[in-house]
Amino acid sequence: MNISGIYSKVLRSGIAAGILPVLCWCTRPVEKQSFPISVFVSVPPQKYFVEKIGGEYCTVQTLIPAGTSPHTFEPKPRQMAALAKADLYFSVGVEMEQAWLPKLRSSVPGLKVIPTDSGIVKLRMEDDEEPVHAGEKESSSGHHHEGADPHIWLSPDLVKLQAAKIVRALADADTAHAVEYHKRYEHFLMEIDTLKQRVADRLERCGAPDNFLVFHPSWGYFAHAFGLHQIAIEVEGKEPGLRRLGEIAVLAKHEGIRTVLVQPQFSVKTAAVIAREIGGITLVADPLAENWAENLEHVTGLLCGQ
């Protein structure tokens, strides 16, 4: 039943005085709110971005919890119920959004969805080199290996593009604090530039190898941003065969690679096999870690062998 139907039923029931204020609260424009804006994001790093810009004027909830893969995650009913009460949703282009976001838009028409990946030319997942151009389709197999790499939050420059969309949406939704949002946004941009320079300087000083080995190809944007290249063990979302494992081991030995970056969302068994073959170790690098700046510093240290 739509809002009009509920309203008519309430009037007929004679209890409109008690219910009507609640209905008005649910449907009033975001601009008139005097309380923090309720925001949802898909992955933990986005929460970091929104909080950097929104500060105390926003409450931010993450749909995909820490340690969970966005390739296989499905929202729980209680999360969908919470989403229905939110003011803004910042999408980022991960797989699970493609399946349920259209349904969310139709079932909760009052929720404003802001695609922060809009206009960003994405890398291909399988090699993280060739861009995916407008109109090309992403894979529907549960992974993006035949299409676009969704991990755009791992590039400092692309985070700046996402931040621009975030500040516009927050300022439009809460005009009373628009100036504060823009001030925090400008400060965040300076933090991003400083971080990018610090990471680049550290990689150069430590002599980090141009190539690094990963299990799942999540770090393509980071590699691209700093002139590096990731070599992925996983092929099109599948475990590699013995031939592929042998090729990777030979390449790693030739390149002098002694570490394999793994992430908590995936099994490390195959990565451990490669690590043993090259006489190296596996190290955890979580592309979904919430503290984005700290995480990029952490991965830089791993690549530097520190």
| Contact partners, residue 14, CB within 8 Å, separation at least 6 | none
Q: Verify that 188 and 118 share a domain, yes or no.
A: yes
Instruction: Band the pLDDT of 184: cuts 50, 70, 90.
Output: very high
Of the pLDDT bands very low, low, confident and very high (cuts 50, 70, 90), residue 126 is low
**Residue 48 sits in the same domain as residue 168:** yes
**Which of 160, 195, 230 lies at the terminal end of a domain, its last residue?**
195
Report whether pLDDT(138) > 50: no
Q: What is the pLDDT of the chain when averaged over all its residues?
A: 81
Q: Check whether residue 182 and residue 55 sit in a common domain.
A: yes
Which has more pLDDT, 296 or 17? 296
Could you tell me if 185 and 126 lie in one domain? Answer: yes
Give the domain CATH number at 274.
3.40.50.1980
Domain assignment of residue 200, yes or no: no
Check whether residue 170 and residue 217 sit in a common domain: no
Q: State pLDDT tens for residues 39-93.
A: 999 999 999 999 999 999 999 999 987 767 776 677 788 888 888 889 999 999 9
Window from 29-33, 145-149, 150-154, 257-261 with minimum mean pLDDT? 29-33
Pick 42 or 265 by higher pLDDT.
42
- Summarised one tens digit per residue, pLDDT across range 219-238 is 999 999 999 999 998 876 67
Whether residues 87 and 124 share a domain: the answer is: yes
Q: Is 242 found in the same domain as 128?
A: no
- 6 pLDDT above the threshold of 60: no
What is the average per-residue pLDDT within 16-36? Answer: 43
User: 202 in a domain, yes or no?
Assistant: no
Q: Do residues 47 and 187 share a domain?
A: yes
Backbone dihedral region for residue 227 (phi beyond 0: left; psi -120 to 50: alpha; all else: beta): left
- Does one domain contain both 106 and 116? yes
Regarding whether 190 and 110 lie in a shared domain, the answer is yes
pLDDT for 182 equals 98
Structural domains counted in the chain: 3
Which of the listed residues 163, 195, 227 is the one where a domain comes to its end? 195
Average pLDDT over residues 261-278: 85
214 pLDDT more than 80: yes
Q: At residue 137, what is the residue type?
A: K
168: containing domain: 33-195
Cβ(262)–Cβ(268) under 8 Å? Answer: yes
Note whether 75 and 156 are same-domain residues: yes
Note whether 89 and 112 are within 8 A (CB). Answer: yes
Average pLDDT over residues 22-45: 64
- Phi-psi region for residue 135, left (φ > 0), alpha (ψ -120 to 50) or beta? left
- As a whole number, mean pLDDT of residues 270-282 equals 88
Q: Using the 3D structure, point to which of 195, 222, 241 is the last residue of a domain.
A: 195
